[in-house]
Chains A and B, each alone.
Chain A
Amino acid sequence: MTTIRLSVPQTADRGEIIELRAMIQHEMESGFRFGSRGEMIPQDIITKFECFYNGTLFFSSDFHPGVAANPILKFYARANESGSFEFVWTDQDGQSWSDSAQIEVS
C-alpha cells in the first residue's frame, strides 16, 4: 500500500491563489547506497510528478535521486473554476499512483 496525502482547500474564491500539498510514501532509493554486504543498492525512484486542474497539466516536477524519501511538494494554483485537482506520480519503471481532490470555487 502506498500512502498518498493531499492538502487542497475545499472552497476558494474565484481567482484566489491556493496552496496545494502532496506527499507520497516512497523510499526514493538513490542508487548511491551500499547494503550490509557492501553491494550497491539499485536505484528505485519516482521520476515524475504531475498535477492536473480539471484535466489541464499546470505543474509538474522531475525527481532525481537528490529528492528525499517520501517526497512532499508544496506549490500553488489559481482557483478559476470548481472541479478537481489530480496528482500523479510515476516511477522509473512506468508504474504510477494517483489521487484527486475536489474544490468548490465561487
Chain B
Amino acid sequence: MIPRVAAATEDEMNEAIRGMFGDRVITEGRVNVDLPPIAENGFSVPIDISVDSPMTEDDYVKQIVVLSPRNPLPVLAQYHLTPMSGRADVSARIRLGGTQSIRVIAEMNDGTLWSGAKQTLVTLAACVID
C-alpha cells in the first residue's frame, strides 16, 4: 500500500461504503454511536457502539463498520459478531484526523443495513501533516 498524504473526503467514504455494500439501502437508526463531544487528543478517542438487536440465531448483527470522512483512510475498523456475542455492543479507541462526524454502519444477518453517526470536535488531530 502506498501511503497517501491527503485526507479522505465525504466522497471517498461513500465510495468505500459502495465498495462494501453496493447500492443496498442503508436506513438510519438502530445504531447508537457515542463519542466525546470534544476530543482533546485525536490520537486516541474512545468510541462506544451499540446496535439494537436481540442477537439470537434468527436475528443478529453480522458486521459493524466504523467510517470517517476526514481520516487518511475512510474505513477505521470492522467488527464481526455472531449470536454468541449476546449483545451488539463494542467499545474501542480510534484515531481522528480532525473534527468530523463518524459514521457507523451495521449489517444484520438478514442483509439489512442500518446506520448511526456522531459528531466530535477534535482539538489536536492525529496524523498531523504539513
Complex contact B80–A68 (CB within 8 A): no
Chain A interfacial residues counted at CB < 8 A: 33
Chain B residues close to A by CB (< 8 Å): 1, 3-5, 43-45, 55, 66, 68, 71-73, 75-87, 89-95, 126-127, 129-130
Residues of A within 8 A of B73 (CB): 64-66
The distance in angstroms between the C-alpha atoms of A40 and B127, with both chains bound, is: 12
Complex contact B3–A43 (CB within 8 A): yes
- Which of A33, A56, A75 contacts B89 (CB under 8 A)? A75
A58-B82, A78-B84 are contacts. A67–B90 as well, Cβ < 8 Å? Answer: no
Complex contact B84–A60 (CB within 8 A): no
Complex contact B79–A53 (CB within 8 A): no
The distance in angstroms between the C-alpha atoms of A68 and B43, with both chains bound, is: 6
Segment 15-67 of A: residues with Cβ below 8 Å from B = 17-18, 30-34, 40, 43, 53, 56, 58-67
Who on chain B is nearest to A16 by CB? B86
Residues of A within 8 A of B72 (CB): 30, 32, 65
14 A-B pairs within 8 Å (CB atoms) are namely A32-B72, A32-B127, A34-B129, A61-B79, A66-B68, A67-B77, A67-B94, A72-B92, A73-B92, A75-B79, A75-B85, A78-B55, A78-B83, A78-B84
Who on chain B is nearest to A40 by CB? B3
Complex contact B89–A65 (CB within 8 A): no
The distance in angstroms between the C-alpha atoms of A9 and B39, with both chains bound, is: 31
Complex contact B78–A61 (CB within 8 A): yes
The distance in angstroms between the C-alpha atoms of A80 and B57, with both chains bound, is: 14
Residues of A within 8 A of B126 (CB): 30
Residues of B within 8 A of A73 (CB): 90-92
Who on chain A is nearest to B83 by CB? A78
